[in-house]
Amino acid sequence: MQKAVLILRALVSLFGIALIVLGALFWANRALTLIPLHMLLGVLFVLCLWGLVALGFYARLRAPLPLIVLIWSLIVPALGVEQVRLLAGPHRLLIQWVHLLVGLIAMGIGHGLARRISGAWRAVRYPGSSPSAHSSR
């Protein structure tokens, strides 16, 4: 369980950074031929979030975080596939910022969920230990 969380968390970071780097290139009107790669990485990114959501439910997290991540992970690709069409509209810059912000928030809540799962898992394995004894990482 811990290993799966660790791997998914690392992949969320890895794909997230690659998406931002590619996005920055697109923003500068460069490497536009790599848009399909960006979209593929976006799908993989979302699949990793779903993996964390599944582990969150499996770990029986009480908080609504897994549900929030699930809903957000549906918004990311929905917005992504509409991106090209939306960019052609009048609010190009706003759409670009919203797309980036939605992606960054997805990364943030994905990491938050991973931390919560690890914490819950540790609490099951070491029931006597106080939550403060563990860092939030």
Give the binding site for ligand HEM (CB under 6 A).
16, 19-20, 23-24, 26-27, 35, 38-39, 42-43, 45-46, 76-77, 80-81, 83-84, 87, 96, 99-100, 103-104, 106-107
Instruction: Find how far residue 32's CA is from the centre of its chain.
Output: 23
Q: Which is nearer to ligand HEM, 4 or 20 (CB)?
A: 20
**Cα gap 2→117, rounded to integer Å:** 8
Record the tokens describing residue 98, joined without a space. 């919203």
Nearer CB in complex with ligand HEM: 12/55: 12
State the Cα–Cα distance between residues 12 and 104, nearest whole angstrom: 11
Nearer to ligand HEM, 18 or 54 (CB): 18
CB of 90 to ligand HEM, least distance (A): 15
Closest CA to 134 of 62, 122, 65: 122
The residue with its CB nearest to ligand HEM is 23
Angstrom distance (rounded) from CA 15 to CA 21:
10
In the bound state with ligand HEM, the residue whose beta carbon lies nearer, of 27 and 57, is: 27
Query: Could you tell me the smallest distance in angstroms from the CB atom of residue 131 to ligand HEM?
Result: 30
> For residues 9 and 114, is the Cβ–Cβ distance under 8 A?
yes
